Amino acid sequence: MTDRSWIGAVTLRQRVRLWRLRVRSLLQRLRRGLLYGLGRLSKDDAQLIFVDCQRLAGWHPLLILSDDDVLEELNEAFEDDPSLADLVSAACSRVSHKWESVGDELYEARRWARNLVEDYARDNDIALRSRESNSDQDDDEQLA
């Protein structure tokens, strides 16, 4: 092997690796497209499609209201309830379609979504138990 022959081998190896990555990426996008067409898209796949399309669509959102963030805030304030995820999704969807910017957008959007979740829970006879009231009860029990 000459001194320069290994350069051609590395370059060929890099080209093959790059080709494999591109084919794998293409197959993953085709899979997501098929799942979307069949109506069986997972949450993660939907987020990947959204991210892939942002640049092409010319969207550059600086603030994103997500179900996960609102649910996390609610879980800090209330005890876990299996029905919260659906209520949070409905509340975030409504906020995103009705939102008008006036200042501290993300905080206000989350607050509005939290308020809607509390309204939805009340309408569906779901009792949200505050973590603060439970910690006060625990303190009272410890003092007794």
User: Residue ranges of the domains in the chain?
Assistant: 5-57, 67-143
Rounded distance between C-alpha atoms, residue 78 and residue 105, angstroms:
23
Q: What is the mean pLDDT of residues 3-11?
A: 65
Rounded distance between C-alpha atoms, residue 38 and residue 86, angstroms:
22
Q: At what angle do helices 105-123 and 84-98 cross, to 10 degrees?
A: 130
- Give whole-number Cα distances, 98 to 71, 102, 103, 109, in Å: 20, 13, 15, 10
CB-side neighbour CA atoms (13 Å) of 136: 5
pLDDT at res. 91: 92
Does the pLDDT at position 140 exceed 80? no
> For the segment 61-108, what is each residue's pLDDT rounded down to a tens digit?
767 788 888 999 998 988 888 888 899 999 988 988 887 766 677 788
Tokens of 122: 């009340």
pLDDT at res. 62: 61
pTM, two decimals, is 0.52
> For the segment 122-136, what is each residue's pLDDT rounded down to a tens digit?
999 998 888 876 555
